[in-house]
Chain A
Amino acid sequence: MQPRIDYQKFSLLLMAGIFLGGVVFVRLRLLGVPLERDEGEYAYMAQQLLQGVLPYTESQSMKFPGIFFAYVGVLAIFGESPVAIHLALLFINLATAFLLFLLGRNLMSPSVGIMAGVSFSVLTLSSALQGVWANSEHFVLLPAVGGILLLWVAQDKPKRFFFSGFLLGCALLIKQHAVFFCLFGMIYLGSRLVTKSHPLNKPFLTIGLFVVGGLAPIILTALIYGVTGNFSDFWLCTIQYASEYVFMTSPGEGFENFKYNFAPILESNFSILWLSLIGLASVAWRKNGKGEYLFLFGFFVCSFLATTPGLYFRPHYFLLWVPVLSLLAGVGIESLVSRLSSYRLKTVIPAGILTLALGLPFFLQKNFFFTLPVFEATRMIYGLNPFSVSLEVSKYIRDRSQKDDRIAVLGSEPQIFFYSQRRSATRFIYMYPLMEKHVYADQMQRKMVHEIEGAKPEFIVVVKLSGSWVTSRPDFSPLLKDWAQEYLSREYEISGVVDILSHEKILYKWGEQARGYHPRSSYHLLVHKRRA
Chain B
Amino acid sequence: MRIAISLFLVAVVTFLGYWLILDQRNHSKAIAYIKRGDALSEMKRYDEAIENYQQAIKIKVNDAKVYNNLANALSKKGKLKESIAYYNEAIRFKSNFADAYSNLGIILNRQGQFEEAIKQYRKALQINPDLFRVHDSLAILLAQQGNFSGALYHYQQAITLYPGFSKAHNNLGSSLAQQGKFEEARVHFEKAINIDPNYIDAKKNLELARSLSMEATSRGLLSR
Instruction: Assess whether B143 is interfacial by the CB under 8 Å rule.
Output: no
* Contact flag A285-B23 (CB < 8 Å), given A270-B17, A522-B42: no
B141-166, CB < 8 A from A: 161-164
Closest to A473 in B: B130
B60 to chain A, nearest CB (A): 11
Chain A residues whose C-beta falls within 8 Å of the C-beta of B164 in the assembled complex: 477-479, 482
B1-17, CB < 8 A from A: 2-3, 5-7, 9-10, 13-14, 17
Instruction: Assess whether A284 is interfacial by the CB under 8 Å rule.
Output: yes
A505 to chain B, nearest CB (A): 15
Cβ-defined partner of B14 (8 Å) among A264, A274, A475? A274
Contact digits for B97-110, partner A, Cβ 8 Å, 1 yes 0 no: 01100100000000
Tell me the dominant secondary structure on chain A's binding face.
helix
Cβ-defined partner of A474 (8 Å) among B14, B23, B42, B99? B99
Cβ-defined partner of A266 (8 Å) among B6, B21, B42? B21
Chain B residues whose C-beta falls within 8 Å of the C-beta of A475 in the assembled complex: 98, 128, 130-132, 161
B20 touches A277 (CB 8 A): no
A277 touches B14 (CB 8 A): yes
Contact digits for A257-288, partner B, Cβ 8 Å, 1 yes 0 no: 00110111011001001100110011111000
A277 touches B42 (CB 8 A): no
A266 touches B2 (CB 8 A): no
Chain B residues whose C-beta falls within 8 Å of the C-beta of A283 in the assembled complex: 6
Instruction: Assess whether B217 is interfacial by the CB under 8 Å rule.
Output: no
Closest to A476 in B: B130
Give complex CA distance A265, B161 in Å: 42
A236-269, CB < 8 A from B: 259-260, 262-264, 266-267
B5 touches A284 (CB 8 A): yes
Chain B residues whose C-beta falls within 8 Å of the C-beta of A477 in the assembled complex: 132, 161-164
A151 to chain B, nearest CB (A): 27
B106 to chain A, nearest CB (A): 12
Chain B residues whose C-beta falls within 8 Å of the C-beta of A285 in the assembled complex: 2-3, 6
Instruction: Assess whether B85 is interfacial by the CB under 8 Å rule.
Output: no
Contact digits for A450-483, partner B, Cβ 8 Å, 1 yes 0 no: 0000000000000000000000001111110010
A259 touches B24 (CB 8 A): yes
Closest to A521 in B: B39
Tell me the dominant secondary structure on chain B's binding face.
helix
Chain A residues whose C-beta falls within 8 Å of the C-beta of B23 in the assembled complex: 259, 263
Closest to B42 in A: A522
A260 touches B27 (CB 8 A): yes
Closest to A266 in B: B17
Instruction: Assess whether B186 is interfacial by the CB under 8 Å rule.
Output: no
Give complex CA distance A266, B15 in Å: 12
Chain B residues whose C-beta falls within 8 Å of the C-beta of A273 in the assembled complex: 17
A284 touches B6 (CB 8 A): yes
Instruction: Assess whether B122 is interfacial by the CB under 8 Å rule.
Output: no
Contact digits for A35-62, partner B, Cβ 8 Å, 1 yes 0 no: 0000000000000000000000000000
Chain B residues whose C-beta falls within 8 Å of the C-beta of A474 in the assembled complex: 99, 102, 131, 133
Give complex CA distance A246, B224 in Å: 66
Give complex CA distance A267, B21 in Å: 6
A233 to chain B, nearest CB (A): 28
Closest to B128 in A: A475
Please indicate which of the listed interface residues B6, B7, B27 has the most CB atoms of chain A within 10 Å of its own CB.
B6
Closest to B4 in A: A284
A263 touches B6 (CB 8 A): no
A77 to chain B, nearest CB (A): 39
* Contact flag A281-B10 (CB < 8 Å), given A474-B99, A475-B128, A522-B42: yes
A522 touches B2 (CB 8 A): no
Give complex CA distance A125, B135 in Å: 50
Give complex CA distance A262, B16 in Å: 12
Give complex CA distance A22, B9 in Å: 34
Cβ-defined partner of A284 (8 Å) among B2, B131, B161? B2
Chain B residues whose C-beta falls within 8 Å of the C-beta of A266 in the assembled complex: 17, 20-21
Please indicate which of the listed interface residues B20, B42, B128, B132 has the most CB atoms of chain A within 10 Å of its own CB.
B20
Give complex CA distance A285, B3 in Å: 6
Give complex CA distance A266, B39 in Å: 30
Chain B residues whose C-beta falls within 8 Å of the C-beta of A278 in the assembled complex: 10
Chain A residues whose C-beta falls within 8 Å of the C-beta of B2 in the assembled complex: 284-285
A300 to chain B, nearest CB (A): 13
* Contact flag A522-B39 (CB < 8 Å), given A277-B14, A475-B128, A477-B132: yes
Chain A residues whose C-beta falls within 8 Å of the C-beta of B42 in the assembled complex: 522
- 18 example contacts (A-B, Cβ-Cβ < 8 A) are as follows A259-B23, A259-B27, A263-B20, A267-B21, A270-B17, A273-B17, A277-B13, A277-B14, A281-B6, A282-B6, A284-B2, A284-B3, A285-B2, A285-B6, A474-B99, A474-B131, A475-B128, A479-B162
The 8 lowest CB-CB distance pairs between A and B, nearest first, are A263-B24, A284-B6, A475-B130, A281-B6, A477-B162, A284-B2, A263-B20, A267-B21
